[in-house]
Amino acid sequence: MLSLFKFKQNRGFSLVEMLVVIVIFLIITGIIVANYPQFKDQSALELMAQEMAVNIRTAQVLGTGTRVGSSGPAAARSYGVHFNSDNTNKFISFIGSNKEDGTFDEGDKIVEEYTLQGADITNFYDQSGDDLTGVFDITYRRPNPEARILHNNSNITGDSLTIKIKSKRGGDRCKQIRISINGQIAVIPGFQCQQ
């Protein structure tokens, strides 16, 4: 009977073992809590970049997939997205009137005006990497699935436009969205901001 009692005394955790487990738990929790704001900012920036790409893709799908009437207001409308480098946190989705220039004008119908929360559009680049300013229109018109990319009402140099967005919280958190004339729209993975 005495040996059974001794065996029960040796079971369980000692106070030292319990303190070691608590300290390890607190260290891991502290690391997670300390990195949460950075993770949240990076996730929000990724979401904004993906939403911007989806809005451009929506214009592409609507522009290439809508029914074309023989005449009248439904005839071959273009769908597009309008950016202005002076307005760093907004862009406009629009339906173009029956014209072929591919620009956003007063007569065009605004589908939606988007506001970026927590980020700004900082740069626009052409294929050669030149930093561009001004007005940018990306339009799609049936039957051609290719994008028409205009910079200040003229065709862009090269075959793509890259848009860089950066977190308002600073640091090196930013994303790039590349729109190619051939119809490809992509958020560039693994991109690091250069200050």
- Report the 10 Å Cβ neighbour count for 125: 18
Query: In angstroms, what CA-CA distances link 62 with 59, 75, 187?
Result: 5, 13, 20
What tens digit of pLDDT does each residue of 85-143 get? 998 889 999 988 766 777 888 888 889 999 988 888 889 988 888 888 999 999 988 77
User: Does residue 194 fall inside a structural domain?
Assistant: no
Rounded to an integer, what distance in angstroms lies between the CA atom of residue 113 and that of residue 121?
15
Two tokens, residue 180: 């190619």
16 falls within a domain: no
Please name which of 57, 51, 97, 55 lies closest in space to residue 78, comparing C-alpha atoms.
Answer: 97
| Separation of alpha carbons 149 and 161, rounded Å | 7
pLDDT of residue 57: 93
> How many Cβ atoms sit within 10 Å of the Cβ of residue 52?
24
The model's pTM? 0.77
Q: Is residue 49 part of a domain?
A: yes
Count the domains in the chain.
1
Question: Is residue 82 situated within a structural domain?
Answer: yes
* 2 within some domain: no
Determine, yes or no, domain membership for 8: no
Helix (H) or strand (E) holding 83: strand 78-84
Q: Which has more pLDDT, 2 or 177?
A: 177
Tens of pLDDT, residue by residue over 10-61, are 667 788 999 999 999 999 999 999 988 888 888 888 889 999 999 999 999 8
Residue 53 located in a structural domain? yes
Domain of 117, in residue numbers: 22-187
With respect to residue 15, please indicate whether it lies within any of the assigned structural domains: no
Q: Which two tokens stand for residue 34?
A: 């300390």
CB 161 within 8 A of CB 149: yes
At 163, which CATH number?
Answer: 3.55.40.10
Q: How far apart are CA 45 and CA 64, in angstroms?
A: 29
Contacts of residue 156, Cβ cutoff 8 Å, sequence gap at least 6: 126, 127, 132, 136, 149, 150
